[in-house]
């Protein structure tokens, strides 16, 4: 690429089977993510843009929004399937490390992560925005609800690598005023 004329020879990144509707670059310039009408996101390593991208599957409809957290840990995708997915970019294989976020009644067409990495917001055609807490306790509870059980030691290491393993993390919010109970 010529710095005097960046448009002179752009690198072409191919792989999607339909229109690309969302793009984002990580703050550390390591990753480029593309979201497409083909129901996939592709994660391109900008250290070697010619390499095959990681294929992120799981959505049942077009991906309309993507964002990468300021700490480069999380990638979020928003889709017409009414879900968002949170992908762990520190995982050995980010394609196998997603948490599904449900609750919207229509397409998710906007996503953002706060500068302190604490909050994820999703915006939808259902005229609502949802604020998701990305703090460790909330993520562990969400991961356990997603898989319907406690995390195994291997899963814990994959998602919470720098935190000591804890059993019985699936929590039931019986009454938020009273607190949560551990199963």
Q: pLDDT digit string (tens) for 154-179?
A: 776 665 555 667 664 444 333 233 23
Average pLDDT over residues 116-137: 89
Q: Which band of pLDDT confidence, cut at 50, 70 and 90, is reported for residue 183?
A: very low
* Mean pLDDT lowest among 53-57, 93-97, 101-105: 93-97
DSSP 70: T
pLDDT of residue 67: 98
pTM as predicted: 0.74
Task: Report the SS3 class of residue 155.
Answer: helix
In which residue are the tokens 């294989």 written? 93
């Amino acid at each position: 690429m010529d710095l005097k004329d960046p448009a002179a020879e752009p690198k072409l990144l191919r792989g999607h089977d339909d229109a690309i509707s969302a793009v984002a670059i990580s703050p550390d310039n390591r990753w480029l993510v593309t979201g497409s009408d083909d129901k996939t996101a592709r994660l391109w390593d900008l250290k070697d843009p010619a390499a095959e991208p990681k294929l992120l599957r799981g959505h049942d409809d077009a991906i309309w929004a993507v964002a990468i957290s300021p700490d480069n840990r999380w990638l979020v995708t928003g889709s017409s399937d009414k879900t968002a997915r949170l992908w762990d970019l520190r995982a050995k294989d980010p394609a196998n490390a997603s948490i599904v976020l449900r609750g919207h009644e229509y397409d998710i067409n906007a996503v953002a992560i706060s500068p302190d990495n604490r909050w994820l917001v999703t915006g939808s055609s259902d005229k609502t925005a949802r604020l998701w807490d990305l703090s460790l306790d909330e993520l562990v509870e969400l991961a356990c609800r997603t898989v319907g059980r406690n995390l195994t030691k291997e899963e814990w290491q994959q998602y919470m690598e720098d935190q000591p393993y804890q059993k019985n993390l699936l929590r039931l919010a019986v009454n938020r005023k009273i607190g949560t109970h551990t199963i």
